[in-house]
Structure 1
Amino acid sequence: MPPSDSEQARIGRTFADSAPAFPEPRRARPGAPNVVYVLYDDLGFSDLGCFGSEIATPTADRLAAEGLRYTNFHVTPLCSPTRACLLTGRNHHRAGMGLLPNFAMGYPGYRGELHHSTATLGEMAQSQGYTTLGVGKWHLTPMNQFTGAGPFDQWPLQRGFDRFYGTPDGMTNQWRPDLIEDNHWTEMPDDADYHFTSDIVDRAIGYVHDHRNGDAEKPFFLYVAFCAPHFPHHVPKEYVDKYVLVFEKGWDATREDRLARQQELGLVDAGTPLPARNAGVRPWSDYDPADQAAMTRLQAAYAGMVEHTDEHLGRLVAALEEMGELDNTLFVLLSDNGASQEGGEVGSMNAVKFFTGYDAPEQELAEIHEHLDEIGTEQWVNTYSIGWAMAGNTPLKLWKQDTHGGGVRSPLIVRWPGEVADPGGIRTQFHHAIDLTPTALEVTGMVAPGQVKGVEQQPLDGESLRYTFGDAGAPTRRTVQYFEMNGQRALWQDGWKAVAHHEPMLSPVLVLTGQAEAVTDFDSDVWELYHLDSDWNEVHDLAAEEPERLAAMVELWWQEAERNDALPLGAIIGGMNGPIITGRYDQGPR
């Protein structure tokens, strides 16, 4: 503990026989780098140009060309849990965020808020000489705590940020967002051309300028959490128009083209096959031309939003470069989960229906046709179809909310000048979102403190991936990683992956009486087994050929789940077109 002012100063009866002392604030090590996390929301594995997309993303492409792309990087299948992993360096159940803060269920792994024993990187950095700045989407605090009366202990400023500006919940209208600043609600700027993405980048640049004007040497941690490209896909009309012709070929051809481009870029091996279409996705050719045109425009809005976000990210990168900060910054870019299945078969003008069940595809298409020119405008919560989400995750299976690759494989770009042996290189080591904060700690020279604000801290679960910066062939240092989300389960171990898809079943009697509960039978889930080191995108199920290996991995999953507070198991959010179910669920027989 540092000495108090009275211990450092010599106190006499008067100033004349006393000697003052001015304790120095805690400073980071000389030359310590800044850290910038950029988190996209619902961005598919292949949605950046440098990961195979036809969408224009020159800023991400530049960062990749000057840094590294990771093709074996994983997250959780949902937004808030990944944010918990990223910011704390712990597994999401261990941090208290087993699902979303909108669902607090009274179990240690499902608090719906971050445990104080799992400090964020911001909290760690504040005590070690960093200024900490956050902008964008938070979604780590129950919404009923965002009142003028608090409690405030889970607001961003109490979880490690000196300044914060953004939206507290999981989604918002991009043209008219719900906004908080520091510890209070605030109004959006009076600007006819307002868009949330440009606003948060303005704030990020302003925060860094303010910080640097106050201290010429103190490093900063900047957390930029875009709401984009999560629905609603709100973007100026010219961005939508640009991509209509690009995607008229449909999702099947888009998947094929992206896989070919990924092979050319060296992201996947030559000969990597496409998995079969995800369940519920029909061939593009099944739809008549008018309906194809409607679904194409929904995808064009999504693609335009990705480009629009990259454009504003470019302003941030340019500002850091102009200030002379970029090359002394560990810059990390990733997505919180895979592309989203939440648009139903054909997409929708009102994606909020996902939480209650979509109308029939014909009715959805009729509404899309009626308002085709309004896609992207503020009165709609428009989103694309599951076929486009499948294409966004090329060449992976399934999507957001699932523990197959399409839900948990994220593009990762890391730029750290001086240590990268081969700028523009590709890394294939297995890593996870929990590994990024340990990486930041190692690069900056900070340490994970044993106590934060008087609370004993849980150890970090992640391991730094800095060892990969200078050695593309370095063996993976991770050995095991469990996954669980809403009953979906998986375990990665030494290049193998066991995974089980779980569909919650509804009790018809309880639905009819208005007392809907999830009836779950986890023992009936079918476990699949893949050798990811040779079967990158989970095409060849080896469960029947390796039953002993699979059984051992399933048992290890239960051990890891218990160790990380992932029990009891439950299924809270229904299937693609199902309702949200709440309640308490027992683990059930093993």
Structure 2
Amino acid sequence: MTQAPWSEYRPGQQFPGVVGRTTEESSPAWPRPVRAAAGAPNVLFIVFDDTGFGQFGCYGSPIETPNLDALAAGGLLYSNMHTTALCSPSRSCIMTGRNHHANGMAAITELATGYPGYNGQIPFENGFLSEMLLQHGYNTYMVGKWHLMPSEQESAAGPYDRWPLGRGFERFYGFLGGDSSQWYPDLVYDNHQVEPPATPEEGYHLTEDLVGRAMSFIADAKQVAPDKPFFLNLCPGATHAPHHVPKEWADRYRGRFDDGWEAYRERTFARQKELGVVPADAQLSPHDPDVPAWESLTPEARRLAARMMEVYAGFLSHTDHHIGRLVEFLKETGEFDNTLIMVVSDNGASAEGGVTGTTNELQFFNNAPETLEESLARIEEIGGPETFNHYPWGWTWAGNTPFRRWKRETYRGGVSDPFLVHWPAGIRARGEVRDQFAHIIDMLPTVLDVLGIEPPATIRGVTQSPLHGVSFAHTFDDAGAATRHRTQYYEMLGHRAIDHDGWRAVCPWPGPSFEEAERPFGTPITMADLDDLDAHHWELYHVDEDIAETRNLAQEQRSKLIEMIALWYVEAGRYNVMPIDGSVLQRIMTERPQITEARTSYTFRPGTQTLPAAVAPRLLNRPHSVTADVEIPPGGAEGVLLCQGTNAGGWSLYLKNGHLHYAHNYVQRTLHHVASSEGVPDGRHTLRFEFEPTGAPDIAHGKGAPGRAQLYIDGRLVGETDMPVTTPIAFNPGGMACGANPGSAVSPDYQAPFRFTGTLHSVTVDLSGDLIVDAGSEMRMHMARQ
């Protein structure tokens, strides 16, 4: 190695060179570039979404995940890893090594309230692993789902300091919110929106795109600096709804789930014992009160539910396949052996599909569920570009085998998740199971431990808070090592629990199941409720001997239970858990600080970014108008002027065949359409749509306000129709776009993106009247997007 003709010094130190009157009598020195330690490993996190303990093949599932299984066989499988029970809170723990309330992430940011543990804004004193590794010479890449900032900040107006590039990631490609279509995703590249590079008809799928982008990020840097390590946080949308996958992947599972969810649990549990994932003497949790017996379903309902599970299984296997592409890329580039890989899910399997499942979640959000007959008519479309599907919660329960319950609840089905570690260059053990207790706040400290890095005292001038997690690196090559994480609290929407030295106390809210609860999910907790809960409703389990929480020892071990309750309150006081809040509707309705004042007029221009639903004007159930200032060239023009939503539901104002059109897609069930009676002539014109409600909405029954739709050209009425029902609550996805329809077409009358071919100067949306909303239905939508 050639000796450089200069010396280097750390920035901030005194200049060690010589400065004379000329360069002849001077000697140079340079600030030392940030370089990683020689041989430092790459770090790869793969964070699944809504994937249960019993859904990877290596955890006993009949679903095929050969690439994940290979990572387990070549590394370590942890059987006692824990999360927060919800997506954004868990992801904040992974990135910061701090508990979710200390991150301001008591729940999702859509439910933020004005308390330190609940405001949805991760404080900058809780630095991200990406920010830490930047200081030590790493490239840092974020690919996939983010959902770690207030949704009101997702627009082009920012602020951008909580976007991935504001939190230590040098490159970003993915989506900012809680979920996205796998066929037509809402993509952001670094700090700006982009369109998918291909269409579903051309073979596009988000997972393939994300993995390809991750590989390109790595390759871009390695061709210049081959010895520079990277940190990649890969967060596919899988296996969150919508369960979108090419049909051939779902068809691989034809008939394999026809015997139902109870049979799935029994098979998976037996296999878990064979693999050593659960103890040989473990007991399977009992049948959940909210899940109907498979045999109680009609043959048609069983056929539909089985197909929904086939699609889910194909989705997971398809994701595993593309993870295999990344693994092969790391092997081909010589990076695989020295890459520390950690694979985890953010919470247990999700029950937001409801008891029957759905082919279009937008119907569920809008209280307009399809009938069994309607679902069966679309059975072969499930998983494809025309659906936005989710399976029934019987499969959720099965996917969390052997545990009880699911996502959003702090029983083990909500908080116990698969976790794999693979690092051939750093771990001698191969194919072993580790049963030490761990929590996702331990991932960051473990990475720092194996890298020999101390947590930074400051990041960009901000003094850092202490880490809450502890390293489990000492368990890598010692199966018998004791856990160093002895106590962990949980709280999610008022549902509480605590683990301590092999014991577990749980206080469910509003009850152990929906059937057993006396009040609905999302009910606020009063002081009287809290006193009653603490006195009578905590449960106690010795999970060292009863992993699936089957034997409640609250009466027999009263003193132990009191000790655990007291310990929960100690931890709650330490980590900003107070005030305990079981509400959901009230949180959704909370007014939060916005970057602009409320207004009733919005102006849009073509070529601008799609406006996220959180900051778009809310048109439903109220009088409104949409006015476009256009210039039509000789020969005419066509295309979208303004639209919102997707083929799952939305509305569009557009020109076609020389006429002005408006279409309202009511949750894929009905298309209300009106066209102008005359064509739009050449020249500059004002084109206008008006909606005037003619009745009240029936939100509880999925019906938005009926109304009169009218079209105007230069102030002249040229078309009208009465719409007997409109969308009552929301569009999801619900972005608003000017001058084109990105993604899937709102109306089957045209093919997306159907860009306007004339000159569109502006489009103005004007609102008047009172906004009518249904907080309960919005709550279900926000929670389902986690």
Task: Return the TM-score normalized by structure 1.
Answer: 0.93
1:213 aligns with 2:223: yes
Match of 2:46 in 1: 38
Change (3 A) 1:252 1:40: same
- Secondary structure, aligned partner of 1:446: coil
2: CA distance, partners of 1:262 / 1:448: 37
Q: Is the 8 A contact 1:572 1:580 kept in 2?
A: no
Match of 1:53 in 2: 61
Match of 2:234 in 1: 224
2: CA distance, partners of 1:573 / 1:330: 38
Equivalent of residue 349 in structure 2, options 315, 329, 339: 339
Structure 1 residue identity aligned to 2:532: S
Q: Deviations over 1:206-227 (max 9, x none)?
A: 0111111120211111110111
Q: Deviations over 1:296-340 (max 9, x none)?
A: 111111111000000000000000011100100111001000000
Equivalent of residue 396 in structure 1, options 379, 403, 407: 403
2: CA distance, partners of 1:488 / 1:579: 21
Per-residue deviation, 1:10: 3.7
Q: Is the 8 A contact 1:573 1:579 kept in 2?
A: no
2: CA distance, partners of 1:108 / 1:367: 46
Match of 1:511 in 2: none
Change (3 A) 1:438 1:4: closer
Change (3 A) 1:364 1:43: farther
Per-residue deviation, 1:421: 4.3
Q: Deviations over 1:360-397 (max 9, x none)?
A: xxx54233112111101123210000100011000100
Q: Is the 8 A contact 2:472 2:483 kept in 1?
A: no
Q: Is the 8 A contact 2:525 2:583 kept in 1?
A: no
Match of 1:562 in 2: 573
1:424 aligns with 2:431: yes
Match of 2:633 in 1: none
Query: Per residue, is there more helix in 1 or in 2?
Result: 1
Change (3 A) 1:217 1:535: same
Aligned ranges for residues 460-499 of structure 1 at < 5 Å? 460-499=467-506
Query: Per residue, is there more strand in 1 or in 2?
Result: 2
Match of 2:205 in 1: 195
Change (3 A) 1:543 1:345: same
1:324 aligns with 2:334: yes
Per-residue deviation, 1:101: 1.8
Per-residue deviation, 1:499: 0.5
Change (3 A) 1:13 1:426: same
Per-residue deviation, 1:353: 5.0
Q: Deviations over 1:383-414 (max 9, x none)?
A: 00010001100010000001001000001100
Per-residue deviation, 1:78: 0.5
Structure 2 residue identity aligned to 1:133: Y
Structure 1 residue identity aligned to 2:375: I
- Secondary structure, aligned partner of 2:545: coil
Q: Deviations over 1:490-543 (max 9, x none)?
A: 00000000001102999xxxxxxxxx9845533333111000100011100000
Q: Is the 8 A contact 2:111 2:584 kept in 1?
A: no
Match of 2:298 in 1: 288
Structure 1 residue identity aligned to 2:322: H
Change (3 A) 1:354 1:528: farther
Equivalent of residue 235 in structure 1, options 245, 250, 253: 245
Q: Is the 8 A contact 2:250 2:314 kept in 1?
A: yes
Change (3 A) 1:357 1:424: farther
Structure 2 residue identity aligned to 1:126: L
Equivalent of residue 546 in structure 1, options 543, 550, 557: 557
Match of 2:108 in 1: 100
Q: Is the 8 A contact 1:419 1:470 kept in 2?
A: no
Per-residue deviation, 1:103: 2.3
- Secondary structure, aligned partner of 1:38: strand
Match of 2:185 in 1: 177
Change (3 A) 1:291 1:313: same
Match of 2:277 in 1: 267
Match of 1:372 in 2: 379
Change (3 A) 1:382 1:304: same
Per-residue deviation, 1:551: 1.2
Change (3 A) 1:358 1:117: farther
Match of 1:24 in 2: 32
Change (3 A) 1:107 1:364: farther
2: CA distance, partners of 1:366 / 1:20: 80
Match of 1:585 in 2: none
2: CA distance, partners of 1:351 / 1:3: 54
Match of 1:571 in 2: 582
Per-residue deviation, 1:455: 0.8
Equivalent of residue 76 in structure 1, options 72, 84, 107: 84
Structure 1 residue identity aligned to 2:398: A
1:163 aligns with 2:174: no
1:298 aligns with 2:305: no
Match of 1:500 in 2: 507
Structure 1 residue identity aligned to 2:98: R
Match of 1:534 in 2: 545
1:312 aligns with 2:322: yes
Aligned ranges for residues 249-260 of structure 1 at < 5 Å? 249-260=259-270
Structure 1 residue identity aligned to 2:163: W
2: CA distance, partners of 1:413 / 1:86: 14
Change (3 A) 1:81 1:349: same
Match of 1:454 in 2: 461
Which 5+ residue runs of structure 2 have no aligned equivalent?
Answer: 1-8, 515-521, 586-699, 701-775, 781-786
2: CA distance, partners of 1:400 / 1:306: 18
Change (3 A) 1:5 1:481: closer
2: CA distance, partners of 1:140 / 1:566: 19
Per-residue deviation, 1:104: 2.1
Change (3 A) 1:580 1:528: farther
Q: Select the structure with the greater relative contact order (CA < 8 A; seq sep ≥ 6).
A: 1
1: CA distance, partners of 2:58 / 2:479: 18
Match of 2:129 in 1: 121
Match of 1:445 in 2: 452
What is the root-mean-square deviation of aligned Cα atoms in Å? 2.2
- Shifted more, 555-564 versus 390-399: the winner is 555-564
Match of 1:509 in 2: none
Q: Deviations over 1:3-53 (max 9, x none)?
A: 459835544444444433222212221111111000000011011110001
Change (3 A) 1:471 1:354: farther
Q: Is the 8 A contact 1:173 1:232 kept in 2?
A: yes
1: CA distance, partners of 2:371 / 2:129: 43
Match of 2:142 in 1: 134
Change (3 A) 1:421 1:13: closer
Identity of matched residues, %: 46
Change (3 A) 1:19 1:422: closer
1: CA distance, partners of 2:224 / 2:90: 33
Q: Deviations over 1:131-168 (max 9, x none)?
A: 11110000001122122221111010110101110000
